[in-house]
Structure 1
Amino acid sequence: MRSNEPTSLAFAKALLSGEGIEVFELDVHTSVLEGSIGILPRRLMVADRDHFRAVAILRDNDVDRGY
C-alpha cells in the first residue's frame, strides 16, 4: 500500500497486525528530505506469502490505495 495519509496508514497497519500479518513501513523518514510537506508517499510492505490476504483485508475495509 502507498499513501501520504498517516491515518490511512495507521488504520491499515492496525487491520493487518490484528490479522497476524507482519507489516513493515518504508519511507518513514523521507519527510526530512521533502521538508515535511507530505508529497512523498509512505509504503506498507508485507511478505509475499501474506500479500493476497493483506489486499483482501484492506479492500474489505475500504482501504484500497495503491497496492
Structure 2
Amino acid sequence: MKLPMEQCPWCGGQEFVVGYQGYEAMMTYTPQGFTGKRIHHLICKRCGMVLASRVADTSKYQDARKAW
C-alpha cells in the first residue's frame, strides 16, 4: 500500500513508522462500543507527529448516509 505522503508537513522528515492503538481506544462499529478494530497510525519518525490514521477492516461499519 502506498503511503499517503512522502514528507512530513511539520518537520520535513521522510521516515515513517506505524503504531497501533487498541483496547479501550479502539474504533468501534456499535454504539455500545464492546467490539471494534485497532486504529493504525502513520507517525513521523523524526518529530512524532501522527500524520494519518485508519481502520484496517471497515466491513462491519454502517454506511454513513444511514447512520449519521
Query: TM-score of the superposition, structure 1-length normalised?
Result: 0.33
Provide the TM-score with structure 2 as the length reference: 0.33
Which protein has the bigger helix share?
1
Which has the larger Rg?
Answer: 2
Give the number of the structure whose residues are more often strand, by fraction: 2
